[in-house]
A and B are shown apart, each in its own frame.
Chain A
């Protein structure tokens, strides 16, 4: 099973049309990966779908980096009882 980080990178790469190899934990969604307003929403929606979780909109949209998303999603998965590979 892929790790949270690998899955987050895969979703990010698909939505923002990047090669996963170019996405680093410290990559900023907006500044480094060029996510626009609607793409940020799409990213959150795709993360929810990928992990089978529901995220608080404001909290999720305040996450700025890929590494931050990994940490945030891991915590949400734990809180919602969803098993993931860390």
Chain B
């Protein structure tokens, strides 16, 4: 016998339900939750309340100048100051982009830090990054930083094969000596658990973090050790039911609920080797990590880190508001990165030159009727980037008329209709059908044709320009 099916009748709906409470258009679509999530840990159900993320002080931290620079030629001091300034604008007065970290090893590293701090921005706070070597605290103290990240690699690949410790105990004692040196120097240590998603959780990670918590009880709260979970090789997975050490939910649960590391002292740092980097970061937020470490446009070692601008959009989606974030700074940052020779792929979300450009005539037709049909949100308002069409043989008259109206800045009743662009549409088709063209038609070529076919509009356009 088959299971009885639930019947769904079709009411005669005549008004569109655009779900604008979820898709407000003037903001990225909201991410809302309608109940708790249950994950089985050691065979017992553990409940997570994702909706609490709306009120938790989740933040974005930045490592553009540290991990980001490990994959690129070094930034100049002036470039770092410019980027820092824009990061501050992006994160807004409440410090959604809360911290950024600096190398401290070269004169240029330290000069860049000084110049960034001279701007006087409250956020992002500047922190350091050093090896787990006691002598390196001299650098942190010299530049007067309150917090520094330090490498505390925790997989046996690192402990035994890279760092050549003879035992977990020897390794942990060594790390804890450096943590104590940080406390003694009055600097908050942020322990970077390198390669945690490939580590022995029970026999190293939990005992080490347990000891960090004990040590932290002996110092003022503002010095207590933070823990950064570093998914160094991008092995972390977000799926409920996945096993440790790859399970992000279980890692965070163990540290947060079993060891008692507060969410405010937990941070996730991912890599994109398996295309999971952004969702893994957001997953860490949901399961109890308050800080999501990221880099601008995902620039970072090998395949990169969680893209900061993606985290910003996720933040807005989870919070349901801008919270002081200036999203237009994303476009300025992307333009700036390109201007200093750092390429951003054309189809890269939110920042690539073609992220909201359609080549399909049928999509262009939809855009012409209501841009919400094929635009993710009001990209003109939030990013200064209205949806556009690129013209190819697939664009059709719909694509051409969208391009013409966009080019001349014509809106509403001023827009030219399809009939009026027939000559340009014919020229486009002939490029492919008669001349055998195989490339997209550039804006410059189209502009030249627009001048020829629409002299009146061209004169107005030039006058306004």
Contact = CB atoms under 8 A, between A and B. Distances in A.
Interface of A: 37-38, 41-42, 44-45, 48, 55, 57, 60-61
B396 A38 contact: yes
20 contacts: A37-B361, A37-B397, A38-B396, A38-B422, A38-B429, A41-B419, A41-B421, A41-B422, A42-B425, A42-B426, A44-B419, A44-B422, A45-B420, A45-B422, A48-B419, A55-B419, A57-B417, A57-B418, A60-B419, A61-B418
A37 B429 CA distance: 10
Nearest to B361: A37
B418 A42 contact: no
Contacts of A60: 419
Contacts of A57: 417-419
Contacts of B361: 37
Contacts of B425: 38, 41-42
Nearest to A43: B422
A37 B400 CA distance: 12
Contact of B397 (A41, A48, A55): A41
Q: Is the interface of A mostly helix, strand, loop or mixed?
A: helix
Contacts of B419: 41, 44-45, 48, 55, 57, 60
Main secondary structure of the interface of B (DSSP, over half): helix
A85 B46 CA distance: 83
- Chain B interface size, under 10 / 10 to 19 / 20 to 34 / 35 or more: 10 to 19
A50 to B, nearest CB: 13
A37 B426 contact: no
Interface string B34-51: 000000000000000000
A38 B425 CA distance: 7
B417 A42 contact: no
A45 B425 CA distance: 12
A71 to B, nearest CB: 19
Interface in B400-444: 417-422, 425-426, 429
Given A37-B361, A57-B417, A42 B422 contact: yes
Q: Which 6 A-B pairs have the closest CB atoms?
A: A45-B422, A57-B417, A41-B422, A38-B425, A41-B397, A42-B422
B68 to A, nearest CB: 46
A48 B417 CA distance: 13
Contacts of A45: 419-420, 422
B368 to A, nearest CB: 11
Nearest to B397: A41
Interface in B365-414: 396-397
Interface in B180-227: none
B361, B397, B419, B422: which has the most chain A beta carbons within 10 Å? Answer: B419
Nearest to A48: B419
Nearest to B398: A37
B361 to A, nearest CB: 7
A60 B417 CA distance: 12
Given A42-B422, A45-B420, 16 more contacts: A37-B361, A37-B397, A38-B396, A38-B422, A38-B425, A41-B419, A41-B421, A41-B422, A42-B425, A44-B419, A44-B422, A45-B419, A48-B419, A55-B419, A57-B418, A61-B418
A41 B420 CA distance: 9
A69 to B, nearest CB: 14
B396 A37 contact: yes
A82 B417 CA distance: 22
B417 A38 contact: no
Nearest to A55: B419
Contacts of B421: 41
Nearest to A56: B417
B386 to A, nearest CB: 22
Interface centre among A41, A42, A45, A61 (most CB of B within 10 A): A41
A37 B425 CA distance: 10
Contacts of A55: 419
Contacts of B397: 37-38, 41
